[in-house]
Amino acid sequence: MAKICVVCGKKPLSGNKISRRGLAKRKGGVGENLTGITRRRFLPNLQRIRALIDGTIQSVRVCTKCLKAQKVLKAA
């Protein structure tokens, strides 16, 4: 099952993790140097819940933002 919210379609985003060494100039150093850039993924906060969808109870993955906004009805 993909890491996608069934309500809003939120999915993983990609970005960079930047590694630096040295002390910043504003802290009294000679400056920071980049030593590496690595790709990384920002995953959505998904929760697996039992929800009432079209009159039937289904197990779905929903992000916490949709849960908090009550965009999906939890099964009793």
Residue with tokens 């939890």: 74
* Full residue range of the structural domain in which residue 24 is found: 13-68
The structural domain count of the chain equals 1
Q: Taking residues 60-72, report their average pLDDT.
A: 95
Is the pLDDT higher at 1 or at 24?
A: 24
- Single pTM value for the model: 0.75
Residue 67 has pLDDT above 90, yes or no: yes
In CATH, what number is assigned to the domain containing residue 40? 2.20.150.30
CA distance 39 to 55: 42
pLDDT of 10-38, one tens digit each?
Answer: 999 999 999 999 999 999 999 999 999 99
Helix (H) or strand (E) holding 65: helix 64-68
